[in-house]
A and B are shown apart, each in its own frame.
Chain A
Amino acid sequence: MSNSALLKSSLAKKYWMSITGLFLILFLIGHLAGNIPLMFEINRETAHGFNEYAKFMSENPLVQIVAWVVKIAILFHAVDGVLLTMQNNKARPVKYKVENANANSSWFSRAMMPMGLLIFAFICIHLVNFWAEMHYGSIPTYKVRGEEYRDLYTVVMKFFGKDELAIMWISIYILGMVALAFHLIHGFQSAFQSVGLRHKKYTPIIEKIGYAFAIIVPLIFALIPIVIHIRVNG
């Protein structure tokens, strides 16, 4: 193998960006599937089903490994993105006085770093809200057939429904998902181009799937806290 070609070069940084980005896209699918039940009817069954899922997610060793891989992938992706952006800024030390960038590219394709930083801030807030609460906080517990369950479901309902800052939290979650949507409208297809997967027939299909994914997935994520708020209060 060529020395450092797959670590330090400009193209290598993009390969890692692409691989971690695609992995995080897969994670989003799983994460969404697990949380969609939160939108449905509030009763003991849905509550317990969700808490069972949460217990499985926080105790299964395999899930634990994947969960840490996801966190490492986010950090790796973010650090790689910062390194790329720093080099890119250094490559253009003097800016143009007049630049008509909209004539040749979309603003969101040029805003991967700002959108990424918003997503990063959102992820930090989100982890403090639920992950830290689940692992280190004081969540009320109940027992079913001798097994202890933590009632994360009720915590989520309170958080988006009754918390005095509920509207602020919901706004933050919506903003995070808007940033994710724009990040993915460009990022989804870009990840394929970065590793050289481009084809006259398949690339237009990838672009369409990417566009749909980038809008539908963040939209459903954003709907979850809104629907919870309406259900809890209405």
Chain B
Amino acid sequence: MKLNLRIWRQDGPNDSGRLENYTVENVSPDESFLEMLDELNEKLVSEGKEPVAFDHDCREGICGMCSMFINGEAHGPDRAITTCQLHMRRFKDGDTITIEPWRAAAFPVIKDLVVDRTAFDRIIQAGGFVSVNTSGNTIDANALPINKADADNAFDAATCIGCGACVATCKNSSAMLFVSAKVSQLALLPQGKVERQERVLNMVEKMDEEGFGNCSNTGACEVECPKEISLDNIARMNREYLKASLSSEK
């Protein structure tokens, strides 16, 4: 296949950036999207040009690094996958593919397609943990009875890989799907119950402070999320926060 690429190039955080055109030839339908970009970069390096900077790590859909907005959708046109799991058989010979970085005030562009997602880390630091002593005297997980439905819902929420596709997709750059998944996975389990009120208050406060937008319930995040995190989690966070703001000591 021969493909026309329009890729966002931006030299650094203060550069205004622009879309640049490239062509790649002999692309195999069996290649992954990132392999196709690797080939482009090899070509650019051999021509003495600056390669396209993009994030990636595991290349198997578990680290959440490969943030790319491809033809107007986070991680491209397929559902329930990350960019590294997207394959070139999804495209046709002669296609034009536009590749942009995640767009959000809270995710500033570092270079080309690479954005700074440490805002997510700071939200986790604000409350996305359980304060237990792990120095040898932890209780065996099986010693705590947990309702099957709660365990399943907590596990589903915990599959969130923090990729930021929800923020990138949301017209408001809202982080509600991510934050609600992190609030839910702990609120549903006995270990997380002790700190559940401060947790939701602190994480939402941090989320607002980082400059993410509000939720308009369009549901776009749930559709584009590679881990199919459900809007049920956002409803749960809304309940948790309402209860906590009425009854917490904070």
Cβ distance B213 to chain A, nearest Cβ, rounded Å? 3
- In the complex, are the beta carbons of A98 and B214 less than 8 A apart? no
Chain B residue contacts of A15, Cβ below 8 A: 238, 242
Chain A residue contacts of B208, Cβ below 8 A: 9-10
- In the complex, are the beta carbons of B212 and A109 less than 8 A apart? no
A101–B216 Cα distance when bound, in Å, is 14
Main DSSP-derived SS at the B contact region: mixed
Q: Which of B216, B223, B234, B236 has the most CB of A within 10 A?
A: B216
- In the complex, are the beta carbons of B220 and A93 less than 8 A apart? no
Number of A residues with CB within 8 Å of any CB on chain B: 43
Assess A98 versus B71: contact at CB under 8 Å? Given A91-B104, A110-B216, A194-B238.
Answer: yes
Chain B interface bracket (under 10, 10 to 19, 20 to 34, 35 or more)? 35 or more
Cross-interface CB contact of A197 among B220, B235, B244, cutoff 8 Å? B235
Chain A residue contacts of B231, Cβ below 8 A: 193, 198
Contact with A along B174-217 (1 / 0, CB 8 A): 10000000000000000000000000010011011001111111
Assess A2 versus B244: contact at CB under 8 Å? Given A92-B213, A97-B19, A104-B223.
Answer: yes
Contacting residues of chain B (135-191) with chain A, CB-CB under 8 angstroms: 169, 171-174
Main DSSP-derived SS at the A contact region: loop
Cross-interface CB contact of A96 among B72, B207, B219, B246, cutoff 8 Å? B72
- In the complex, are the beta carbons of A104 and B242 less than 8 A apart? no
Partner-A contacts on B (CB < 8 A):
6, 8, 19, 69, 71-73, 77, 98, 100, 103-106, 169, 171-174, 201, 204-205, 207-208, 211-220, 223-224, 231-232, 234-242, 244-246, 248, 250
Query: What are 13 A-B pairs at a CB distance below 8 A?
Result: A1-B246, A5-B245, A10-B174, A10-B213, A10-B214, A88-B173, A96-B100, A98-B72, A104-B218, A105-B220, A193-B217, A194-B238, A195-B239
